[in-house]
Amino acid sequence: MAIAQIKNLQRRLANLEEEATEEVNRACGHELWQGLGFDALDTLEDPDRRARANYYYGQLQTVRELRDVLG
């Protein structure tokens, strides 16, 4: 991969990470989940909010794994 392609991919991954973090914050109503991890999402009582939080948390984990591979 060319350097420009890697930088472009890293920028897009950063955008996805920011979006996913904001959506999990919105679903939870706070940022405390960042310190508690995935288990905090299961305590959400509203099934729609819990599903949305879990979806975006999965997206966030995927983005982080890809960023780790790219270095």
**Chain segment 27-51, per-residue pLDDT in tens:** 998 888 888 877 788 888 899 999 9
pLDDT at 71: 74
Which residues have a Cβ under 8 Å from the Cβ of 57 and sit 6 or more positions away?
Answer: 20, 24, 33, 38, 41
pLDDT at position 61 over 90: yes
Question: Could you tell me which residue, 6 or 13, shows the higher pLDDT?
Answer: 13
pLDDT at 30: 87
pLDDT at position 12 over 90: yes
